[in-house]
């Protein structure tokens, strides 16, 4: 459960997200860790991100869906898979990252801020 609004909603086109989701990109909401209450069991998988830092991914042990993650590059943030929230009224992405891997047929709103790689340098730690 999130006690405050998201700090950032991002579309990520990195190859790891494409493989993890089985589709062309992921949509991720980021919250301050102290505003998120985790309940229920989760399985952890640690992977190395394109930045070279670890990302701790947490999956539902029943269905295997990605539920949330903790990127070492953003230690005060927790990422939540927007699809796991199952809310069609959830805010649209405001940024798009790793667009160098974006499928040519994917179209996002014109006002989305775009990055060819990560946005951590531009936003951290103020996300």
Provide mean pLDDT across the span 16-43.
92
pTM of the model as a whole: 0.84
* H/E run at residue 18: helix 15-21
Dist. CA 37–CA 94, nearest whole Å: 24
Provide mean pLDDT across the span 28-44.
93
* pLDDT (tens digit per residue) in 61-112: 999 888 999 999 889 999 999 998 999 999 999 999 999 999 999 999 999 9
* Top-tier CATH class for 8-123: alpha beta
In the chain, what are the domain boundaries? Answer: 8-123
Name the residue with tokens 């062309």: 24
Instruction: Report CA 16 to chain centroid distance, whole Å.
Output: 11
The phi-psi region of residue 119 (left if phi > 0; otherwise alpha if psi is between -120 and 50; otherwise beta) is alpha
Q: Is residue 1 pLDDT above 70, yes or no? A: no
Higher pLDDT, 50 or 23: 23
Instruction: Report CA 42 to chain centroid distance, whole Å.
Output: 17
* pLDDT category of residue 33 using cuts at 50, 70 and 90: very high
Dist. CA 5–CA 124, nearest whole Å: 18
Q: Is residue 50 pLDDT above 80, yes or no? A: no
Q: Is residue 125 pLDDT above 60, yes or no? A: no
Q: Which residues pair with 31 in a beta bridge?
A: 78
């Amino acid at each position: 459960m999130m006690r405050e609004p998201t700090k950032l909603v991002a579309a990520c086109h990195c190859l790891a997200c494409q493989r993890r989701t089985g589709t062309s990109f992921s949509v991720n909401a980021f919250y301050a860790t102290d505003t998120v209450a985790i309940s229920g069991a989760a399985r952890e998988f640690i992977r190395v991100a394109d930045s070279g830092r670890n990302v701790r991914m947490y999956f539902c042990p029943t269905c295997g869906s990605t539920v949330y993650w903790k990127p070492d590059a953003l230690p005060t943030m927790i990422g939540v898979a927007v699809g796991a929230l199952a809310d069609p009224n959830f805010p649209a992405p405001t940024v798009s990252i790793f667009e160098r891997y974006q499928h040519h047929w994917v179209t996002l709103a014109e006002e989305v801020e775009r990055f060819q790689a990560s946005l951590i340098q531009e936003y951290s730690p103020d996300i």
